[in-house]
Amino acid sequence: METKPGVLNSSQVTEGVARAPHRSLFYAMGYTPEDLKKPIIGIVNGFNEIVPGHVHLRDLAQAAKMGVAAAGGTPVEFPVIGICDGISMNHDGMKYPLASRELIADSIETMVMAHKFDGLVLIGNCDKTVPGMLMAACRLNIPAVYVSGGPMLTGRHDGEKADLVRGLFEAVGQYAAGTIGAEELEAMELSACPSCGSCAGLFTANSMNCLAEALGIGLPGNGAIPAPYGQRKALAKLAGQRVVALSQNGVRPRDIMTLNAFRNAITLDMAIGGSSNTVLHLLAIAHEADVPLQLETFDEISKSVPNICKLSPSGSHRLFDLYEAGGISAVLKQLADQGLLELGEKTVTGKTLGENISRAFVRNAEVIRPLNAPYAHEGGIAVLRGNLAPDGAVVKQSAVAKEMLSHSGPARVFDGEEEAFDAIMDGKINKGDVLIIRYEGPKGGPGMREMLSPTAAISGMGLDKDVALITDGRFSGGTRGASIGHVSPEASEGGPIALVHEGDIIEIDIPGRRLNVRISDAELAKRHELWQQPAPKVTGKSYLARYAAQVTSASSGAVFKVIK
């Protein structure tokens, strides 16, 4: 996609005698000859009417187009898909969200390469849209600014804060346990999600939207400005202006999203206690940027960065509280003042990260604590290894009860989410058990489903301080408790998680970063010899069948195999 300095990519479709037919097609849509002499900026709009975080994105696209036009560019809007993880949860639809990340990146690549845009404003919000868009930006390496749709306002029930997870999903478990009735459950349904926007806690969508600021590809305010606020439209307008400037100055995503920028993003992630899915997505984005980011980097940084925010599901604060406390810029300023960030990194503002946050300050020291009085002395995420996860497993340690940081218990083995969820709801899981949900990895699932329904049911039934869950699938950013995911190698590849038997003792040591099954190497080898790979769950012509054939391990970001 590289062009000579000062030459617009769009000149390939707008200049010269041979491009007369191309220009005529532009004129058919109402563009003028003057429009075609300006930078042509793609407005990538994730709008749809099935995702609460995306239902308002038309307004942001209009604002971005105004910004592009005001800065001397020609805005051209096109759509991209987006999935609501909440609606696709706990049925076979959950096989698709992670797989949609690659579709989103590929579709943006297809539109840009076919039509030769000079820059992009990427407007998304929910879980896989953000990484898919950033992957495309790095792959294409044309000037780009990412704008999120912003978090929804905080719900309330009986005078208490509520959201989709610490509200509805956990209420399902409460209902099963008989602690609430049908009328209260219905009342919670009507009040937990009061506005458009990504779900109100620090779940995957909001985690990634926050990290975009530290990566430098999102403007300050991208992570926390509420979706319904006018500031959100102003941010989109500014993004349109900035991408024209970036196209004129030749500043590209790979100039911004460097290894140091990724380290800044991971540092922020550990400080705020973001979703464990950020590990998958940052690895995938770095892969597209040709940045040598490794799984070990997350744990290295986690050990040196305190957790200074406790947002839902880990605590009672929501994104709106973070916004009022000073937003992500205030968190970054806290980290910068202790020398934990690389402040000289370029950003889409045209300034360095340090310049962006120089005037930020914390307005509420309970929402954003000082580093010398953190919620925890280590970061939000830990990477575990052992004979159950030789290539690593990921846990959101900031959301784990102290009682479960170290735990041993008998394995309760389930070859799929539905079987495990039914056992939980039927009261068949006992205190001390360690649930193993396997054959749910990127390839085996396929699609590496999120296990929010089982973990929320466990929490709702009051077992989150007594029961652990381990899977080669993954967890929603809304998950809390001793929930260990991304176990690699996955079961369908013959990883040790496929060899666990009912009743085997599982040893979890999060402070020691260990995850083991208490059997000998010889016994593991014997079981592996007897193991038979199961038939694929999906075959035929579907996208999922093709996805399963191409996807790699969670430990490498679940990206597609590189074609050599």
Residues 6+ apart with CB under 8 A from 280: 98, 131, 474, 486, 554, 557, 558
106 annotated ligand-binding residue? no
CATH topology of domain 382-537: Glucose Oxidase; domain 1 (3.50.30)
Give the integer Cα–Cα distance in Å for 236 and 60. Answer: 6
| pLDDT, tens digit, 9 for 90 and up, residues 303-345 | 999 999 999 988 999 999 999 999 999 999 999 999 999 999 9
**Does pLDDT of 136 surpass 80?**
yes
Domain ranges of the chain: 38-153+196-357, 155-193, 382-537
Helix (H) / strand (E) containing 214: helix 204-215
Ramachandran category for residue 448: left, alpha or beta (phi over 0 → left; psi -120 to 50 → alpha): left
223-251 mean pLDDT: 97
- End-to-end Cα separation, the chain, in angstroms: 19
- Is the CB of residue 127 less than 8 Å from the CB of residue 277? yes
Give the integer Cα–Cα distance in Å for 183 and 448. Answer: 34
Q: Which residues are catalytic?
A: 476
**Does pLDDT of 400 surpass 60?**
yes
529 annotated ligand-binding residue? no
Q: pTM to 2 decimals?
A: 0.95
**Does pLDDT of 290 surpass 60?**
yes
337 annotated ligand-binding residue? no
121-136 mean pLDDT: 98
pLDDT of residue 168: 82
pLDDT of residue 1: 55
Give the integer Cα–Cα distance in Å for 542 and 18. Answer: 40
pLDDT of residue 348: 98
418-423 mean pLDDT: 92
Could you write out the three-class secondary structure of 434-481? EEEECCCCCCCCCCCCECHHHHHHHHHCCCCCCCEEEECCECCCCCCC
Percentage with pLDDT > 90 across the chain: 89
128 annotated ligand-binding residue? yes
pLDDT band at 3 (very low <50, low <70, confident <90, very high): low
* Half-sphere exposure at residue 502, Cβ-oriented, CA atoms within 13 angstroms: 6
Give the integer Cα–Cα distance in Å for 155 and 479. Answer: 18
Task: Write down the CATH superfamily of domain 38-153+196-357.
Answer: Response regulator (3.40.50.2300)
| pLDDT, tens digit, 9 for 90 and up, residues 442-490 | 999 999 999 888 888 888 888 889 999 999 999 887 778 899 999 999 9
DSSP 8-state assignment for residue 299: H
| pLDDT, tens digit, 9 for 90 and up, residues 337-386 | 999 999 999 999 999 999 999 999 999 999 999 999 999 999 999 999 99
Output the CA–CA distances (angstroms, integers) from residue 388 to 47, 316, 383, 498, 499, in the order listed. Answer: 41, 33, 13, 9, 9
Concatenated DSSP letters for 216-239? TSB-TTTTTS-TTSHHHHHHHHHH
Give the integer Cα–Cα distance in Å for 287 and 376. Answer: 31
Give the integer Cα–Cα distance in Å for 107 and 133. Answer: 10
pLDDT of residue 170: 83
pLDDT of residue 452: 80
pLDDT of residue 268: 98
**Average model confidence (pLDDT) across the chain:** 95
Task: Identify the bridge partners of residue 468 per DSSP, sorted by sequence position.
Answer: 434
pLDDT of residue 159: 87
Give the integer Cα–Cα distance in Å for 363 and 507. Answer: 42
219-225 mean pLDDT: 98
249-269 mean pLDDT: 98
**Does pLDDT of 46 surpass 90?**
yes
pLDDT of residue 4: 59
| pLDDT, tens digit, 9 for 90 and up, residues 483-522 | 999 999 999 999 999 999 999 999 999 999 999 999 999 9
